[in-house]
Structure 1
Amino acid sequence: MRTALDVHISEVGPRDGLQSVKATMPTADKCRWIDALAAAGLREIEVGSFVPAKLLPQMADVAAVVRHALTLTVSHPGLRVMALVPNRRGAWAALTAGVHKLTLPVSASEAHSLANVRKTSAQMVEELRSVVALRNEVAPGVPVEVGLSTAFGCTLQGAVAEDDVIRLALACVEAGVDEVGLSDTTGMAHPAQVRRLFTRLRAELGSHAGAAHMHNTRGLGLANCLAAFDAGVRSFDSSLGGLGGCPYAPGASGNVVTEDLVFMFEAMGVSTGIDLQQLFAAREPLKAGLPGEPVYGMTPEAGLPRGWRA
């Protein structure tokens, strides 16, 4: 997935973004948005989550959205269709639908874990074992990824000890997952903390160390991504227009804006494989599908600098 690219950017807006707004985007609009994201050059898109519709009605059509996204692999070879699953049941539904990658939420904060998935962190590690066993049985080529939620602090619990984060990350790897990344779910991280914790994660997990998933709640999203990059991270989650948050983390607001993240890296000479003009164009189906929903991004508003390469 990352050959010829300096960094890999995973678009999480169709899942993380849409589950965090009150309105439900119609299925046809979701599909048009995903079409535009793929056309812009994004090669991994988290298209939804396999959770009960009564809990997240915004995700009720996830199987249909996955089916549509899979058709794009003909015109966009290498596109990876990803979905979030909270448990074995969700994993079975996602694998049956044909997703290319599973991601599971495991929280470093016990309070957030209970609020988000109604399980302790230890119970989620056991759920991981079950999901990995299912994957090994029915779809051995599908990677399983964990994003450690609230790794940098929690609005419910407060501080989260770094030793606890590393210990939980190692437990996830021992349970059989392919990658473990760190998520700043509540936007409490700062660059020194990000650099320190990702350095530890990479030293402890080696090739199992995964993506940086940063939020911009306090305006430090890009700075934290750059700190993670300096620590050796080469995979980043972001959301078009900065949509996102967490329904079970009070005060958490949007993800890092994909447009701004791509601009930062490309301006630095770090290749993302993403076309910024087409990425800007992908904002239009997003706005059409969620009329009136605020859409953020400094780069789309300011425009590209004069002489910016095509």
Structure 2
Amino acid sequence: MTDNRGVPGHSSRRSSVHQHHRGNIDFSRWHFDIDDVLNPFLPPPPWHWLPRPVSHFFGYRGDQPPKTIGNLVIAFWALIGVFCGVLLISEVSLHIPEFQNHHAPIIVGSFGAAAVLEFCAIESPFAQPRNAVISQLLASVIGVTISKLFALTPSAHSKPEIAGSLSCAITTMAMVLTNTVHPPAGATALLAATELQEVGWFLIPVILLGCSLMLTVALLLNNIQRRFPVYWWTPHPLVKPPKPQLQDVEKAPKIKQGSDSGSSDFEFSEPMQVVIRQGRVYVPDNLWLDADEKEVLERIGERMQQ
């Protein structure tokens, strides 16, 4: 046996080999898409089953192409929508005693930015219901959690700027990983850790109620002359593609005689298929082709390889 420990330069060569293998791992190309995990289990939206006047206000248009609308119409409905959305959230909050008991504000400031998205930039991915609701839920949970953790230590409780920065950063990371980026949610997380500590966990229902009211107004007003939302969960279709019903072309289809009267007709239990793939042609054993027909099929297979 040869002991390589005494060979000069052996350890350095081994180290360089390990570094070379580590250098081949390109972490910058790592990608995680949560939709690849969730979408196969989600049913397609049921809007096409509803009466057309109802589904219209859920953003369903069937096969109708989108209409081109000038910015004057957009500005008009943005004016009406932002006013109604912010006013509705404020009025409802003022008439809920529990909100006052938990020192909740009339309206969380981040809803001002959310209103601009949901009534002006309604085609933006940031404005779609999934982004607008889930991101705000994540932001309120993360912001309150960070605030409670910092409150456990007096030295940390005296530094709300660190709690706010950390909650905003973690919320942004969570939105990226869940495909729910919604800029106003960053403000919600920041406010939860810096200015709304007294509200505590009650901030979560406050945020969810505000999101629900804003979304309701957006569905009603944005669908009068425009379309909202463009999608509820993902722009990609959730309908599962049908599995190809191809028989095993390697084997000839089963045949059976047609009748007991001795007729020579054959009835195939499965339809015969000729399958052309790249460079290969599959023909059932009981299908006879002449030389010209085989040549045509082979040419098609060769063209598919190009």
TM-score in same-fold range (> 0.5): no
Structure with bigger strand share is 1
TM-score bracket for this pair, using the shorter chain length: under 0.3
From the CA coordinates, give the structure whose radius of gyration is larger: 2
TM-score, structure 1 normalization = 0.19
TM-score, structure 2 normalization = 0.19
Structure with bigger helix share is 2
